[in-house]
Structures are given as C-alpha cells and as structure tokens.
Amino acid sequence: MKTFVPKFVWFDGKFVKDDEARVSVMTHAIHYGTSVFEGLRGYWNSKNLYIFRLQDHIKRFRNSGKVYSISLRFTDKQIADAIIGLCKKNNVRESCYIRPFYFVGQYGINLHVTEKSPTHAAVVMFPFGDLFNKNGIKAGISSWRRIHDISTPPLAKMGGNYLNSILATQGV
C-alpha cells in the first residue's frame, strides 16, 4: 500500500494539518501501547460517502478504553462530528479507511493507568479501496497463536494487542 498523508487530521478537538498534531516522546502509549483505536470504512458511490455503522463503531471504541480504564474525553457526538467533519475537510471522493484513536499522553514511566490519566484523541483517514485482491488471496497457518483472553483481553481494540498479529503476518 502506498503511503498517504492526509491534508488534515482531527486532534484533541480541532482540525489541524497532519504535521501540526504532535505528542511528546514521553507519551505513555509509545512506551506501553496504551492506545485505543477503531477502524471504520467509508464507501463512496460517485455522489456520497457512506460511513458504515458509525454509532456501533463509536460505542465499541469507547468500551475498548474502559477495559483498561483509559478515558475518551469527548462525547460520542463529538467523535461522530469529528469523523464526518474530517471526511468533508479532506474532501474525500473515494472509499476510505477512518481511524479514530485515543491514547495515554505524558504520564511518566509507570503502569498505574486510571480514568484520570491524561489522554489525547485523534482521527485520521486515507483512501482505501478493496481490502482483498479480487483475484484471490494467499492464506497460511502461523506458528504464532492469538493472545489468550485470560492474559490480555482481545475484545478491546488496543494498540498493543496487535503486535501478535504483526508476528503472524511475518510468517515466522
């Protein structure tokens, strides 16, 4: 997939240019994977962009953070407005992928995350056509196993939970 840098992103309640959305290298999420994300698809039909199950995705988005006591400091309506507004601001005229996420910010090197830990929220989006090649896909069995739900809850869409999937796609 080629790299796409959107003109605008939504960061902590404002539409900003991508290179203006910055965080410290002391951001907790960089050190410990304390990030929550969601993945939505927007489908373009030559006239309008339709975002698939927006409210359901936002509900799951918020609930994923609750598993780890990470607070989303924006209402569901604010997140929905951010997603829709970002697609409009970037003048999307093709199918796209939309990635809202929130994460623990500057919080030191500790594991005591609570609902009061400082968080940031953002939404990015980029063009994204078909997920799979229409001519078929290759599949295989990885020697890596999915994380077990008694060690790390896979029901939460957390950044750190996907490291296991990276190993599986590397064919190790």
Query: What are the helix (H) ranges across the chain?
Result: 28-32, 54-67, 76-89, 163-169
Question: Which residues make Cβ contacts (< 8 Å) with residue 160, sequence separation at least 6?
Answer: 32, 33, 34, 35, 152
Tokens of 110: 């500790």
Helix (H, G, I), strand (E, B) or coil at 123: strand
The residue ranges of every structural domain in the chain are 8-136
Stretch (H or E) spanning 101: strand 96-104
Q: Which of 96, 94, 169 is nearest to 137 (CA)?
A: 169
The one-digit pLDDT tens for each residue of the chain (172 residues) are 456 667 899 999 999 999 999 999 999 999 999 999 999 999 999 999 999 999 999 999 999 999 999 999 999 999 999 999 999 999 989 999 999 999 999 998 899 999 999 999 999 999 887 777 888 888 888 888 888 888 888 788 888 887 888 888 886 5
Instruction: Name the residue with tokens 């240019």.
Output: 17
Instruction: Kindly list the catalytic residues.
Output: 157
Helix (H, G, I), strand (E, B) or coil at 155: coil
d(CA 38, CA 5): 19
Amino acid at 128: F
With b for 16 or more beta-carbon neighbours within 10 A and e for fewer, the 151-164 pattern comes to: eeeeebbbbebeee
DSSP 161: G
The CATH architecture assigned to 8-136 reads: 2-Layer Sandwich (3.30)
pTM for this structure? 0.89
